[in-house]
Every structure is written in structure tokens, then in C-alpha cells.
Amino acid sequence: MGDFNLNLQTAEEHLNEDDAEGDVVLGVLDGSTPPEEWVQSVARGNVLFLAIEGDLNKLASGFARDVKDMGGQLMHFRKFLVVSPPGVDINTDDL
């Protein structure tokens, strides 16, 4: 094997600390939260993990298109809706 000239002591300087933004927001999707609040939360970089209480299509119709248009993703998983902002993929490989 050849020499790599890898200096781990200075590697931290090259990491982009701004990559990880936002939080995981737990909530209930029951119609009591205005759709604009969900859109704004995703736009700030948050991942939403919402317990669905009611008809998913009806409850998500007020914000799903906006999230998709901004580049986010939505995934119905069991009794939850997972919503991710642009740049955060929902990995379903192990399902």
C-alpha cells in the first residue's frame, strides 16, 4: 500500500459544521396545527415525525405539495408521517 499523507489532527478544520441543522420534531398530525407551521418547520431544516390521528390524505393535503416543491420528502411509516427537509433523505432500504 502506498503512503496517503493523511493528517487526522487537521481533518476537523475541513469539516463543514453547518451541514447539520435542524431538529427532529415530534408532533401529532390531527388538524389542530396550521399547515403553514409544518412547512415553516421543514423549511428551517427540521425533520417531522408526526403521529397520524385521522385521514392522512386530508390532514397532509395542506402542506405535502409545498414540502415536495421545496425538495423535501414525505414517508408514511406505520402510524406516522415522516417529513424531511431538502437534503435529508429518508432511507427505506431496511423496510
Per-residue pLDDT of the chain (95 residues; tens, 9 = 90+): 555 566 666 656 655 555 557 999 999 999 999 999 999 999 999 999 999 999 999 999 999 999 999 999 999 999 999 999 999 999 999 98
Return the pLDDT at 15: 57
Using DSSP's 3-state secondary structure scheme, residue 54 falls into coil
- Residue ranges of the domains in the chain? 21-84
Asked if the 21-84 domain carries CATH number 3.30.110.150, the reply is yes
State residue 18 phi and psi, 5-degree precision. Answer: -80, -5
CB 82 within 8 Å of CB 74: yes
Return the pLDDT at 22: 92
Residues 68 and 70: their CA atoms lie apart, in Å, by 5
Phi-psi category of residue 5: left, alpha or beta, with phi > 0 → left and psi -120 to 50 → alpha: left
